[in-house]
Amino acid sequence: MQFYAVFPGLCLAILLTALESSILGIALPSITASLDSGALYIWALNGYYLAVAVVQPVYGQCADILGRRIPMTAALVSFTLGSGISGGAVSIEMLVAGRVIQGVGGGGIMVMVYIIIADLVPLRFRQKYTAITMSFFALGMFVGPIIGGVIVTKASWRWIFYLNVPIGGVALILVSFFLKLKHDRRGATLANLKRIDWLGNGILTATVASILIALTWGGTLYSWKSSNVLAPFLVGLAGLVIFALHQVSFSPSPITPSRLFSHRASLIGFAISFLHGVILTWVGWMLAAYFQALKECTPLQTGVNVLALAILFPPSGIIGGLVIAKTGRYKPLLIAGLALIPLGAGCFTTLNPESTTGMGVGFQILLAVGLGLTMQAALPAIQATLPEEDVALATAAWGFVRSFGFIWGAAIPAAVFNSRVDSLLGQISDPGVRQLLARGGAYEHATRKFITSFNDSPELKRDILNLYTLSLRETWQVLIGFAAVAFLLSLCIPEVPLRKTLETKFGLKEGGEDCKSGKGHEGEGIEG
């Protein structure tokens, strides 16, 4: 009972991140229009993903130094606070600030849940218990689009963020009462905090932000050949090199030690996780634009239409986790899942305003199953090559790499889409409409309200729809390339045996000695 009492707080925490992942895409066009954000709308996405990515390595170190409970609590507080600020935003700048605070918490929640489960369950059977939390992730993914559509249609978009506040409060209470893990803390808290690689994290934050600026500005505010784009991009690439050198040669306590990437299985696992993050975010944002712009759906209708993805993706992840726990193998899942994704992306290139709603919904099945099966399959490959004492750092690095993929998954399709729109603006006869759609305005205006406002001008409306069709098609075509690379990597990853025993310093405080010694994991204990 003590073991299972840990999970309600973790499940509600993961529910928060699932709602965040599935609900915002439906409402973003309405939010950006309400705040008159223009091209800055992308920072409502990127600000969150930037924060999620760069804080995860720090959470990994904090989990080892301060124990698991303090970082988990801090993550929930930050996410809840950021949600309240985002809901009360009166400008795009305030919304972005709230989203960054929300991202600091969201990044911690994502990585801490996996770290805590790793403290309690051996690697071979770990996927069974991630499936428990995944069921709540499935719930969030399932109801998120519908809730988002209902809120935007019937109430204010602000309740999309306010909804997180009571859920976060309950999760905080549960974590405070039941998350009691062992931790051999040594020294004063202030002295322990100094052991964290703050310089390395500062370099990493500046690096990711610089790359993000280049990806956001390229093809919208500035040409890709402009120094305003090339300079931050090159600075970001140089920052990655500096960060790697700092971790290998200069940091006494690196947040991402080089040993995490020393095995071919872990290296390919990190690469696949990055591409999975890219693809997952890419699909979510472009589907919302397709249904609202080309099919003239309301936000609520859009939420219903993306249920095929929302319903099938999480259960596929659960099934994948159970298969790994049963067979001890992850490579077949990676190959099968990553083979489906380029097929699904190829199907989406055929969509246009005349395509049936059933086609748009049906094509999601391939992507949903493919993304679901591979969602957790790379993590065992990474953890299997490392000792249990590195589980927090390895899981945090995995979370960072995947979240770094989220950043590219929002920025790259936005850049491709906006660049294609700008190249096609010549076919729009109305100069006022051209101005509205230029430099990132096309996504902001990818709403039913905007498209139907041209019902009295059928020729102009046809040209606008054609512009959206061709621009969305190009984003799906580029996605095929990313998915194909991920599939080829899955063919090369080696299979590493998954451990059936567990040695950890972070077992349950009371009645949890088996968690520390590894006893009972192959009988009716934690494995069962």
Q: Please give the structure tokens belonging to residue 406.
A: 């989220």
Quick one: pLDDT at residue 187? 60
User: Can you tell me the mean pLDDT for 397-426?
Assistant: 85
Quick one: pLDDT at residue 512? 43
Q: What one-letter code names the amino acid at 44?
A: A
Q: Which residue, 217, 284, 213, 260, is CA-closest to 381?
A: 260
Q: Pick one of 1.25.40.10, 1.10.101.10, 3.90.1170.50, 1.20.1250.20 as the CATH number of 2-196+255-517.
A: 1.20.1250.20
The answer on pLDDT for 519 being more than 50 is no
Q: How far apart are CA 268 and CA 261, in angstroms?
A: 9
Q: Is the dihedral of CA 470, 476, 480, 481 positive or negative?
A: positive
User: Can you tell me the mean pLDDT for 243-253?
Assistant: 89
| The length of the chain, given as a count of residues | 528
Distances (CA, A) of 121 to 115, 203, 387: 10, 34, 14
Quick one: pLDDT at residue 40? 72
Q: How far apart are CA 46 and CA 40, in angstroms?
A: 10
The residue to which tokens 């840990």 are assigned: 6
Quick one: pLDDT at residue 476? 95
Which residues are within 8 A (CB) of 228 and not within 5 positions of it... i.e. 6 or more apart? 217, 221, 222
How far, rounded to the nearest angstrom, does the alpha carbon of residue 240 sit from its chain's CA centroid?
Answer: 21
Of residues 403 and 273, more confidently modeled: 273
The answer on pLDDT for 24 being more than 80 is no
pLDDT tens, position by position, 43-84: 887 788 788 888 999 998 888 888 888 899 999 999 999 999
Of residues 234 and 527, more confidently modeled: 234
Give the pLDDT band (50/70/90) at residue 463: very high
The residue to which tokens 């100069």 are assigned: 431
User: Can you tell me the mean pLDDT for 433-454?
Assistant: 85
End-to-end CA distance of the chain: 13
Quick one: pLDDT at residue 514? 44
The answer on pLDDT for 522 being more than 50 is no
Give the pLDDT band (50/70/90) at residue 475: very high
Q: How far apart are CA 73 and CA 322, in angstroms?
A: 29
Give the pLDDT band (50/70/90) at residue 14: confident
User: Can you tell me the mean pLDDT for 376-383?
Assistant: 86
The answer on pLDDT for 518 being more than 70 is no
Give the pLDDT band (50/70/90) at residue 219: low
DSSP result, 455-496 = TT-HHHHHHHHHHHHHHHHHHHHHHHHHHHHHHHHHHHPPP-
Of residues 338 and 226, more confidently modeled: 338
Quick one: pLDDT at residue 272? 95
Which residues are within 8 A (CB) of 38 and not within 5 positions of it... i.e. 6 or more apart? 32, 439, 440, 441, 444
DSSP result, 81-109 = HHHHHHHT-SSHHHHHHHHHHHHHHHHHH
Q: In the chain, pLDDT over 70 holds for what percent of residues?
A: 90
User: Which of 23-27, 291-295, 329-333 bottoms out in mean pLDDT, i.e. has the lowest?
Assistant: 23-27
User: Can you tell me the mean pLDDT for 209-221?
Assistant: 80
- Residue 116, helix vs strand vs coil: helix
User: Can you tell me the mean pLDDT for 265-272?
Assistant: 93
User: Can you tell me the mean pLDDT for 32-38?
Assistant: 77
CB 39 within 8 A of CB 221: yes
pLDDT tens, position by position, 127-178: 777 777 776 776 776 677 778 778 877 788 888 899 889 989 998 888 888 7
Q: Is 459 exposed, middle or buried (0-12, 13-18, 19+ CB in 10 A)?
A: exposed
Quick one: pLDDT at residue 513? 45
The answer on pLDDT for 115 being more than 90 is no
CB 172 within 8 A of CB 37: no
Q: What one-letter code names the amino acid at 3?
A: F
Q: Please give the structure tokens belonging to residue 267.
A: 């290296």
Q: In the chain, pLDDT over 90 holds for what percent of residues?
A: 28
Q: Is the dihedral of CA 231, 424, 287, 39 positive or negative?
A: positive
Q: Which phi and psi angles does 360 have, rounded to 5°?
A: -60, -35
The answer on pLDDT for 243 being more than 90 is yes
Quick one: pLDDT at residue 528? 44
